Amino acid sequence: MPSLLEKFSPVRILILTALADTQQHLAAVASGASGVVLKEQAPETLIQAIESVYSGEAWLGKSLMSAVMGKLSRTSSDKPDPEAEKIARLTPREVEIVGLVSEGLNGERIAKQLRISEATVRNHLTSILGKLGLSNKFELAVYAHRHRVGGKPG
């Protein structure tokens, strides 16, 4: 997959699979896939995934997202987080947006909830991704769960 990304940049890859192994799905995303759809899901889900990935969004169904996040939280350790310095550079608004992204909200829903424009959300996301050294909102959601950024207190 990395060679496809290099050769056809900016390509977006959506994986359609019958394999229910979340480790493999995570590996696909780590290799550059923008999303994963299981073949057992409804055709409408595949269409939504294609549209989301085409528009630049990441796609991971709710059940798959839960499984991946559960797996990530089980593998995280209690060692000091070397990312703490990066996270500390986020503004309170950026931390709030990270939390909403990790809950699965898209730019439009974030804008409505925070009563700001979608352009402002995009600007914040660009800043967040740059500060954290990430490429897209899926990576941001995984990062947020792994490093407990933007979570609800308590």
Note whether 38 and 20 are within 8 A (CB): yes
Note whether 56 and 129 are within 8 A (CB): no
Distance (Å, rounded) from C-alpha 62 to C-alpha 33? Answer: 17
Mean predicted confidence (pLDDT) in 1-8: 64
153: confidence class by pLDDT, cuts 50, 70, 90: very low
Say how many C-beta atoms besides its own lie within 10 A of residue 53's C-beta: 20
Residue 57 has pLDDT above 60, yes or no: yes
By the 10 Å C-beta count (0-12 exposed, 13-18 middle, 19+ buried), 110 is classed as buried
The whole model's pTM is what?
A: 0.50
Greater confidence, 59 or 64? 59
Q: Looking at residue 56, what is its pLDDT?
A: 80
pLDDT, tens only, 94-146: 999 999 998 889 999 999 999 999 999 999 999 999 999 999 998 998 899 88
64: confidence class by pLDDT, cuts 50, 70, 90: low
Domains of the chain: 2-74 (3.40.50.2300), 81-147 (1.10.10.10)
With residue 87 as reference, give the H or E element that holds it: helix 84-88
Distance (Å, rounded) from C-alpha 73 to C-alpha 83? Answer: 16
Residue 77 has pLDDT above 70, yes or no: no
